[in-house]
Chains A and B, each alone.
Chain A
Amino acid sequence: MNDGFLSYLQQLEMIAFFSGYPLVFAISYAIAENAKINKGFISFILPSLPFSYGLLGILFLGLQLKNLYPDYSSANINSHLQHPYLVIWGLLAILFFIPGLRKKKQLPLIHSFAFFALILIDLLKHFSNSNGIVQNDMKVYAFSLIFNMCTLLVVTTIGYLFKLSQKTPAS
């Protein structure tokens, strides 16, 4: 892994997109398991999780394309990608739009652990240092939690409204 500044920035990008997912997943699952509140809109949260994760993958792809703009040559892509395997792993999140994969709700969780592990590694490596890396990571992690929750909220709302529109009798 390249230890340069650009490399660290790209790592932060990936943390921002995917590292908040495990906690959002766990909270969503806990809510869904509570039968008392798992009704109506709330009941749409759990099925929406893979969709929202796929949407994160799409947004991540958009960011990469924006970063590469306007030169999409292989030379530029090679020079831009500091963590090519991690970026490709991140882009694989788009696959969770595929119905077959969407049914396996734990797969996005496993996928996102790769990025949560980045925080974990930084925590272990820099806990005793006051170089600000852990602070940075936690700020980005907090952003990632909010980002993941917003994405889930958007996808759930769309799914819920779509379902409501299907139930509405035709006039």
Chain B
Amino acid sequence: MKRFNNKLLMIILLIISGYGIISSCTHKDQVLPAAVSTAVKITRGNHIHLPGLTAGDTTQWKFDKVHSAVNWSTPFLEVGAALTGKFNQFGVADLSNNTKLQNYVVAGQPLPDTSWAFYEGQPEKSHFAGYVQINQINTGEPGRDGGCLVTTLATTKIVPGTQNLTVTNIAQIKTTSITFDPAGNDYIVVFNFTWQGGLAAPITESITGKLTYVPKALVPAGTYSDFGLTLAFQINKADFGIISTETADKIDIVINANFNNK
């Protein structure tokens, strides 16, 4: 290659490179993208769900007991893996009026599940009350559920066809305040937990739990909607006179409640 040719080549390359640099120059400082926020992103809607019993009225939300559960778990022998169970019978009714505490000779829950209201954006307006029948405890071991646990929990055996809502067989909750959880999308719930357990009379403890709202959505291939609430909290069984070395004092309880507007 002759000298002239090389010079020409270099000039052409420099012109092209310079042209590229000029054309790619935006005359603007490149602003770095904002750092990714590590803060929890809280998003809340304004759904309002109110109870009702009229079938077909989509403005009224009905408690779907069949698809709800009250689960508990506690370390076996205080040190082992979790011992778990649930309650077969429960409801969303306020039993604080003692006149309702009695045996009901019916197959299902005798009281309407309407002691609740949920305002997604106004938690101060939300409230709920509910109960479980203690002798309906279910660990999957019939000998235990209808045997030693009945004694341990200081209640009476199940009478078929009867819903035992008497004071010795009922543990109930009733909210006193619901607020936004500042750390996330959940809610902080303070409620009264009333249970007699092994004591001579029921006592009420104020307990704090975390409530999670699963927003309403149309049921796939269905004509109605569903929403869910999950309440997680912990109780100390010793506070209620329950003595058992098989479980730890701390009992974790998770309530999964589904509601629909069928």
Contacts and interface: CB of A to CB of B under 8 A. Distances in A.
Contacts of A141: 17, 20
Interface in A78-113: 105-106
A9 interface: no
B7 interface: yes
A16 interface: no
Interface stretch (B21-29, B84-92, B231-239): B21-29
B14 A123 contact: no
Contacts of A123: 16, 19-20, 23
Interface string A108-123: 0000000010011001
Nearest to A25: B9
Given A22-B9, A23-B14, A134 B20 contact: yes
B1 interface: yes
Nearest to A123: B20
A119 B26 CA distance: 18
Nearest to A22: B13
B20 A130 contact: no
A30 B11 CA distance: 11
Contacts of A134: 20, 23-24
A26 B20 contact: no
B199 interface: no
B3 interface: yes
Interface string A12-29: 000000000011011101
A127 interface: yes
A138 B16 contact: no
A138 B10 contact: no
A105 B7 CA distance: 16
Nearest to A135: B24
A30 B6 contact: yes
Contact of A138 (B1, B7, B20): B20
A53 B62 CA distance: 76
B23 A127 contact: yes
B3 A26 contact: no
A33 interface: yes
Contacts of A22: 9, 13
B31 to A, nearest CB: 14
A23 B13 contact: yes
A56 to B, nearest CB: 17
Pick from A27, A105, A134 the residue with the most CB of B within 10 Å: A134
Contacts of B26: 130, 135
Contacts of A26: 6, 9-10, 13
Interface in B1-48: 1, 3, 6-7, 9-10, 13-14, 16-17, 19-21, 23-24, 26
Contact of B17 (A23, A127, A130): A23
Contacts of A137: 20, 24
A127 B3 CA distance: 32
Contacts of B23: 123, 127, 134
A98 to B, nearest CB: 20
Contacts of B6: 26, 29-30, 33
Contacts of A139: 24
Nearest 7 Cβ contacts at the A-B interface: A26-B10, A135-B24, A138-B24, A134-B24, A29-B6, A23-B13, A138-B20
17 contacts: A23-B10, A23-B13, A25-B9, A26-B10, A29-B10, A30-B6, A30-B7, A116-B13, A116-B16, A119-B16, A119-B20, A123-B19, A123-B23, A134-B20, A134-B24, A135-B26, A137-B24
Interface of A: 22-23, 25-27, 29-30, 33, 105-106, 116, 119-120, 123, 127, 130, 134-135, 137-139, 141
Given A33-B3, A119-B20, A123-B23, 15 more contacts: A23-B10, A23-B14, A26-B10, A29-B6, A30-B7, A105-B1, A119-B16, A120-B16, A123-B20, A130-B26, A134-B20, A134-B23, A137-B20, A137-B24, A141-B20
